Amino acid sequence: VSFNRRDFLKLTAASSAVVAVPARGRAGEAAVPDQGYGILVDTVACVGCRKCEWACNDVSGFPKKDLKDYDDLSVLEKPRRPTATANTVVNRFVDPANPGAGATWSAKVQCMHCLRPACVSACIVGALKREPSGAVVYDAGKCMGCRYCMVACPFQVPTYEYDNAFTPKVQKCSLCHERMAQGGQAPACVSICPREALTYGPRAELVDLAWARIHQTPGRYVEHVYGEHEVGGTAYLYLTPVPAQHAGLPVLGTRPLPEHTEPLQHAIFAGFLPPLALFGVLSMAMRSFKADDDDDREADS
Ligand code: SF4
Ligand code: SF4
Ligand code: SF4
């Protein structure tokens, strides 16, 4: 399927109609959409330039870097994960059915901002919470460093500042919550993306936009909006040209993880069992969660 610049512009115009004025102009509005805001990642439009990595570094309070420090695209050759000094990283992927054809796409990875976040559920001191805006935010002042959130996250996102001996913190993407709150600005990664591979807006409208792109450009994407239903839904959504697991996105079921873990956690707290038990419970729950959902998918297919 060919997709030229004119098609792209037409589609972008259609997209704008769906996601009207994503952030600007919404500051001060009392109403927040039911599902909050989110970001749609179009992995076909992404060219893997890593500018979003730089913009994220710039707003995340990490040691400052120059944009040219991100010119090295050789790092895309191996899959990477967010680190304690990089809340988002871009990975390159190929068509597994035709790896020698030379076609590549790129996808940035970061916290998915789950609608029912397992990290929030696992944090026993309330250091993580989901804001009405859709952002899952971290409060270092409340964190006791137990790292249950790292065990609970089905996307293996939160990282920990092991090199910081005195004030170590958990790190993860904030959905640029403070930018949103202060001035209704779009997240930094969205603002800088030169290919409009990232779209910010009310999550429900992004789901509609994603399906509109799928239907308007048959063959360009698989018919699946990743994050629409995974683990109960996520604020970050992905369009991919091949099944999402080949773009580095884990195969997960639709049930929110807290539905699996919370009854066990409550039992542990009621019995005053040592906190270490929670690590075991969360790990076991994750394994059974994946197994259950694999069974569900097989039953559905
Ligand atoms: S800035 Fe946009 S095009 Fe460049 S790597 Fe990030 S998402 Fe892709
Ligand atoms: S992706 Fe992980 S860290 Fe982010 S909200 Fe979901 S459970 Fe929490
Ligand atoms: S939303 Fe903000 S914190 Fe999250 S990846 Fe983009 S720039 Fe980084």
| Residue 114 to residue 178: CA distance in whole angstroms | 18
What distance in angstroms lies between residue 267's CA and the mean position of ligand 2's atoms?
23
Pocket of ligand 3 (CB under 6 A): 55-56, 59-60, 87-88, 110, 173-176, 187-189
The predicted structure's pLDDT at residue 5: 32
Contact 175, 135 (CB under 8 A): yes
Q: Whose alpha carbon is nearest atom 8 of ligand 3?
A: 56
Q: Could you say which ligand is closest to the alpha carbon of residue 111? A: 2
What distance in angstroms lies between residue 178's CA and the mean position of ligand 3's atoms?
11
User: What is the block-wise mean pLDDT of the chain (301 residues), using blocks of 10 residues?
Assistant: 32 39 43 89 98 97 94 95 98 92 94 97 96 97 96 97 95 95 88 97 97 98 98 98 96 88 64 62 64 51 43
Q: Could you say which ligand is closest to the alpha carbon of residue 136? A: 2
Taking the CA of residue 90 as reference, the ligand 1 atom at the shortest distance is: 5
What distance in angstroms lies between residue 107's CA and the mean position of ligand 1's atoms?
8
Q: Could you say which ligand is closest to the alpha carbon of residue 88? A: 3
Q: What is the DSSP string of 218-276?
A: TTTS-S--BTSSGGG-BSEEEE-SS-GGGGT-----SS-THHHHHHHHHHHHHTT--TH
| Residue 4 to residue 173: CA distance in whole angstroms | 33
The predicted structure's pLDDT at residue 162: 96
Q: Could you say which ligand is closest to the alpha carbon of residue 49? A: 1
DSSP H or E segment with residue 210: helix 203-216
| Residue 177 to residue 200: CA distance in whole angstroms | 12
Structure tokens at 51: 């500018």
The predicted structure's pLDDT at residue 282: 65
10 Å Cβ neighbour count for 79? Answer: 11
Structure tokens at 106: 């790129």
Taking the CA of residue 111 as reference, the ligand 2 atom at the shortest distance is: 4
What distance in angstroms lies between residue 68's CA and the mean position of ligand 2's atoms?
30
The predicted structure's pLDDT at residue 12: 39
Pocket test of ligand 2: the residue of 35, 41, 112, 170 to mutate, having most ligand atoms within 8 Å of its CB, is: 112
Q: Could you say which ligand is closest to the alpha carbon of residue 38? A: 3
What distance in angstroms lies between residue 15's CA and the mean position of ligand 2's atoms?
27
The predicted structure's pLDDT at residue 272: 55
What distance in angstroms lies between residue 57's CA and the mean position of ligand 2's atoms?
19
What distance in angstroms lies between residue 272's CA and the mean position of ligand 3's atoms?
38
Q: What is the DSSP string of 106-152?
A: EEEE----BSS-HHHHH-TT--EEE-TTS-EEE-TTT--S--HHHHH
Q: Whose alpha carbon is nearest atom 4 of ligand 2?
A: 111
What distance in angstroms lies between residue 297's CA and the mean position of ligand 1's atoms?
32
| Residue 211 to residue 213: CA distance in whole angstroms | 5
Taking the CA of residue 152 as reference, the ligand 2 atom at the shortest distance is: 7
For residue 101, the SS3 value is helix
Look up residue 180 and give its amino acid: M
